[in-house]
Chains A and B, each alone.
Chain A
């Protein structure tokens, strides 16, 4: 699966829609903004993402 193919783009769209972590987008961000800094592994990124996202409690409505 190519990183910028249509399937990858659909997958990325669905992830954003459901508020799921998007590792590829994170890597892209890390490369752009923190060149040279250590990058989290996919598992660590996932954990870190959940921690940040649900830190104040999840936002869900009635």
Chain B
């Protein structure tokens, strides 16, 4: 970590700040917090604007437009449907959900109060506690929660057709995902920006706190492995992609030195420079890929890339923040917001036809992309975009410390998640605009497709989709790749979809450039997550190790940092390398595991959210969080159970282990490979079991707490920071 040279002055500043805060709070403490609550729903102020008859008509029109769009999507059989209907259906549902449901939550359940000072106001320090204009914070929060998850999940779930996934993305976000983010954001805001883990400890006791930490650490490992695998799958044997992504590292380091050494604090300057250099690297990538001397240097196998990524993750998490992580963070934030906007504009301009059927025959669980039937695996595959437990970590991190006024939390928490859901809908539209044959050729594992485009054509035709090997070859060449077959993991599929939309909207001759732009965009923020996630994992591990031996807990002590980083990278690197070696492509088994763990983290977050509601005396409204909680428990437990115990070796991990052992005994499989498959199957099964047990314990601990409060055994104490009236003019 960077130790600031001027820390002496900084400490004086802190002392002065404390005094400043004391003065502020003393002057504003109100004896009776209930007084403030009478004006609950400063959020309702904008409600006055919506209450006239014209407004009622407007909302009726929005509701009818949404219902009509859903009807078109649901009733279309065979005739071409425009992606515009997806967008209309989603946006109208979001508007209605935001206007009515989130307002209900804000006013009745959370009682947001415009007169209550937020931590950003009370503890303002010009660093992490900074009152921020709500639309700016909305963008900031969105950039922090949206990553590869909402892009990849829908692409994979498109194997069921576009309709089931879209329904879950849109309905799920309104009733579950956005509710979770919103309630946790407000709970954390009312506790001076407390983290989810600490809230769990505070509300549910130390045992649940430790369990939450275990859940977070293990989901982190799976998340990082699966994200790294996605990058590997999209970059293997792709000199253009590898060159461009490699260039992002020196570019970020250059930016780091720019803003730390040469032009201190000039972050925007450095970012403009970085984005410019990224574009140069993107164009240069084509030249590298076409050069007979350079191309072989950057043509790397999946396994080489996997080791490279693990090494990168280790180095990045030990280096000072300013050198790599911070500049990457800035780069990927702007790239993310820019590209998502570009995609929305492109979709509006092009309005591609959805070539994928609304519902495919693979809803029965026989699909090649991943095993498992529509229920429960559609709801597992699409985690981010509908509901993501990971968001609870962000919503209890930096964002709550920046909210200027309490009612802003509705736009930022609920609205920010709606925006992420919209990204997922766009990803679904991009994937569904591909020909089904192309989609399945890119997403089925190589073991299923056979090694060549011709063998793939045979297989895909048996599924009932048309597929032209010549067209596929042309597509492959037009995006500047050697092969697009079995590029599992969703990133490449999305990139092809985006490239087609972008090139039709903005420039027809540039499909290859747009494809690699999309790959770079995805890889850029996946690498940022790898880097950031490894560091978070390292901190958590060091905190735990510090309990055993104190010096190990010091995050700035190099030996401890190196040991902890190695352990974290070793854990996700293990799953990554195994995923690369997996004959079925790895994504097949790792993505569902990630989905399950992410949804389980969401159940933990919803448990905390429900407890907060119950303890604040609003148990009558606890159904707001209990409803999604119950649904997630059903989904994750069914999926986890099937993943472990299903007799179908494609789905059940134990069945896979037994089937492989049988093959080994019969001499049908190389013994090294077979032993690896067996070991991994048992390991994954144990991990899935661990996730289920941890969640069950958290749910039980929470239920006990609810019962005790409702039975009057524990006083319903809200551990919020006491009410202080805002000094801002209303």
Query: Which residues of A come within 8 Å of B, CB atoms?
Result: 11, 13-23, 25-26, 29-30, 33-34, 37-54, 56-62
Q: Which of B140-148, B458-466, B701-709 contacts A (4 or more CB under 8 A)?
A: B140-148
Asked whether B729 is an interface residue with its Cβ less than 8 Å from the other chain, the reply is: no
Cβ A48 vs Cβ B20 within 8 A: no
**Partner among B17, B329, B536 whose Cβ is within 8 Å of the Cβ of A19:** B329
Cβ B322 vs Cβ A50 within 8 A: yes
Cβ B532 vs Cβ A40 within 8 A: no
Cβ B145 vs Cβ A61 within 8 A: yes
CA distance A22 to B132 in the complex (A): 12
Cβ A59 vs Cβ B143 within 8 A: no
Q: A46-B265, A57-B539, A59-B398 are in contact. Are A20 and B330 (CB under 8 A)?
A: yes
Which residues of chain A are near B10, meaning CB under 8 Å?
Answer: 40, 44, 48
Which residues of chain A are near B12, meaning CB under 8 Å?
Answer: 37-38
Which residues of chain B are near A58, meaning CB under 8 Å?
Answer: 321, 325, 329, 532, 535-536
CA distance A44 to B711 in the complex (A): 54
Of all chain A residues, the one with the shortest Cβ separation from B137 is A16
Whole-angstrom distance from the CB of A50 to the nearest CB of chain B? 5
Cβ B9 vs Cβ A56 within 8 A: no
Cβ A61 vs Cβ B390 within 8 A: yes
Asked whether B61 is an interface residue with its Cβ less than 8 Å from the other chain, the reply is: no
Whole-angstrom distance from the CB of B153 to the nearest CB of chain A? 9
* Nearest 7 Cβ contacts at the A-B interface: A44-B6, A59-B397, A57-B536, A43-B264, A62-B149, A26-B126, A47-B4
**Partner among B2, B4, B321, B532 whose Cβ is within 8 Å of the Cβ of A60:** B532
Whole-angstrom distance from the CB of B122 to the nearest CB of chain A? 11
Whole-angstrom distance from the CB of A57 to the nearest CB of chain B? 3
Query: Which residues of B come within 8 Å of A, CB atoms?
Result: 1-7, 9-10, 12-13, 16-17, 20, 124-128, 130, 132-133, 136-137, 139-140, 143-149, 195, 223, 227, 259-260, 264-265, 267-268, 271, 321-322, 325-326, 329-330, 333-334, 337, 383-384, 388, 390-391, 393-394, 397-399, 528-529, 532-533, 535-536, 538-540, 598
Of all chain B residues, the one with the shortest Cβ separation from A13 is B136
Q: A15-B267, A62-B390 are in contact. Are A44 and B4 (CB under 8 A)?
A: yes
Whole-angstrom distance from the CB of B121 to the nearest CB of chain A? 11
Of all chain B residues, the one with the shortest Cβ separation from A53 is B128
CA distance A19 to B146 in the complex (A): 15
Interface centre among A43, A48, A53, A61 (most CB of B within 10 A): A61
* Interface class of chain A by DSSP: helix
Q: A18-B333, A19-B329, A46-B264 are in contact. Are A61 and B127 (CB under 8 A)?
A: no
CA distance A29 to B440 in the complex (A): 56
**Partner among B17, B127, B532 whose Cβ is within 8 Å of the Cβ of A33:** B17
Which residues of chain B are near A25, meaning CB under 8 Å?
Answer: 126, 130
CA distance A40 to B5 in the complex (A): 10
Of all chain A residues, the one with the shortest Cβ separation from B267 is A20
Of all chain A residues, the one with the shortest Cβ separation from B334 is A18
Which residues of chain B are near A45, meaning CB under 8 Å?
Answer: 126, 265
Of all chain A residues, the one with the shortest Cβ separation from B127 is A52
CA distance A61 to B526 in the complex (A): 9
Which residues of chain B are near A56, meaning CB under 8 Å?
Answer: 195, 397, 536, 539
Which residues of chain A are near B384, meaning CB under 8 Å?
Answer: 61-62
Of all chain A residues, the one with the shortest Cβ separation from B226 is A62
Cβ A16 vs Cβ B140 within 8 A: yes
Whole-angstrom distance from the CB of A48 to the nearest CB of chain B? 5
Cβ B388 vs Cβ A61 within 8 A: yes
User: Could you give 28 example pairs across A and B, Cβ below 8 Å?
Assistant: A11-B268, A17-B143, A19-B140, A19-B329, A25-B130, A30-B126, A37-B12, A37-B13, A38-B9, A38-B13, A40-B6, A40-B9, A42-B265, A44-B9, A46-B265, A47-B2, A47-B5, A54-B326, A56-B195, A58-B535, A60-B144, A60-B147, A60-B394, A61-B147, A61-B149, A61-B388, A62-B149, A62-B223
Cβ B6 vs Cβ A48 within 8 A: yes
Cβ A62 vs Cβ B148 within 8 A: yes
Which residues of chain A are near B7, meaning CB under 8 Å?
Answer: 48
Interface centre among A17, A20, A26 (most CB of B within 10 A): A17
Cβ B13 vs Cβ A15 within 8 A: no
Cβ B598 vs Cβ A62 within 8 A: yes
Cβ A62 vs Cβ B125 within 8 A: no
Which residues of chain A are near B2, meaning CB under 8 Å?
Answer: 47, 50-51
CA distance A54 to B227 in the complex (A): 22
**Partner among B133, B267, B391 whose Cβ is within 8 Å of the Cβ of A61:** B391
Identify 4 new A-B residue pairs, CB closer than 8 A, beyond the known A19-B144, A47-B260.
Answer: A13-B136, A45-B126, A47-B5, A61-B390
Whole-angstrom distance from the CB of A42 to the nearest CB of chain B? 4
Whole-angstrom distance from the CB of B140 to the nearest CB of chain A? 5
Cβ A17 vs Cβ B268 within 8 A: no
Cβ A60 vs Cβ B9 within 8 A: no
Q: A54-B321, A62-B223 are in contact. Are A15 and B5 (CB under 8 A)?
A: no
Cβ A54 vs Cβ B325 within 8 A: yes
Cβ B268 vs Cβ A14 within 8 A: yes
CA distance A21 to B704 in the complex (A): 44
